[in-house]
Amino acid sequence: MKASIAIVTRNRAEHLAATLDSLRQVVVPAGLDCELMVIDNGSTDETSRVLELFERDGISVRHVFESKRGKSAGMNRAFIEARGDFILSADDDVRFPADWIGGMLKPMVDAGADAVAGGVVLAPDLLRPWMTSMHRAWLAETCWLDRGNPQSYVGANMAIARHVLDRVPNYDSSLGPGALGYCDDVLFSSQLIRAGYRIADGLNVCVIHHPEKDRLTRKAWLDAAWSRGLSQAYVGHHWEHWPCRGGKLKTVRTAAALRWWRMSHSRRFEGEGCDESELRLVFKHAMAVAHLREAKHSRFYEKHGLRACRNCVHG
């Protein structure tokens, strides 16, 4: 049995080094042929040196280059390059539990699951009293997933069986970090379920997420809300086939609602943090603006389709 671990990275050598150091402590199950693929998305820092220094019994290492920008493009390259029967994905800023590989593979090997949603928790030093479950979910925590029957996963900790790629062959490279920003995992997992595959609950197999602290600033939260709105509008138009009736009116109304909230709430978070209500309003306004724009373009998918339309120019 073979397994491939995929980590997509770009100019994050220091984070990657800590993540790979954590991987040294992970147990490789007996009889498993395991490889690590670090998909390099155009790094100009010390990423190559970090990989040269990484050695681990039981895990072979490959440095794979993908020139097309974005995590989704990196994952698509991983799908092409992977030699394993199973593909595990993690971010370049996580820390693994000792049973990570075996725990993520078990639902697929023993119970025939097609994919596994692993758990993600935020590093303790990044937790703040003002954080809601939404804040934590936006930092990749899996607190929003249904225990026992997850209908999605977080790419910082997930796994799929190779046969899934027969019907759902790739990520949409217009989505995710390095592109619109988000919804890459949401769309892929939705397509996976639409194809009749099952995502198993592996939420007890938790990695610890160590994003950079600048993601906690007010500006970073507002930027994330805007990008999430753009990403959701893309999925809504191209995959869910949302109608665009009253699109201009929605942009006006959502802008007015955001202005009114800000006029009524002059107190701002200083330094870190952002009110959840403001984030939701920014998200809704961005989604309305982007949906109006996307509606001018032909759709890239049949409704709830598993592959992009043949005649579409699409990443």
| DSSP per residue, 159-218 | EEEGGGGGTS----TTSSTTTT-S-HHHHHHHHHHHTT--EEEEEEEEEEE---GGGGBH
C-alpha distances (whole Å) from 231 to each of 179, 269, 287 are 9, 26, 8
CB neighbours of residue 50 within 10 Å: 24
- Which CATH number is 2-213 given? 3.90.550.10
Alpha helices in the chain (DSSP H): 13-23, 47-53, 71-81, 100-111, 133-138, 184-194, 218-238, 247-264, 276-294
Which two tokens mark 94?
């996580």
pLDDT at 315: 43
Q: What is the pLDDT of residue 313?
A: 41
pLDDT recorded at residue 310: 53
Q: What is the pLDDT of residue 245?
A: 86
- Taking the chain (315 residues) in runs of 10, the rounded mean pLDDT of each run is 97 97 96 97 95 93 96 97 98 98 98 98 97 98 96 98 97 97 98 98 98 96 98 98 92 97 83 95 98 95 88 45
How far from chain centre, in Å, is Cα 189?
A: 10
pTM: 0.94
Domain boundaries, the chain: 2-213, 217-294
Among 104, 98, 78, 88, which residue's Cα sits nearest to residue 9? 78
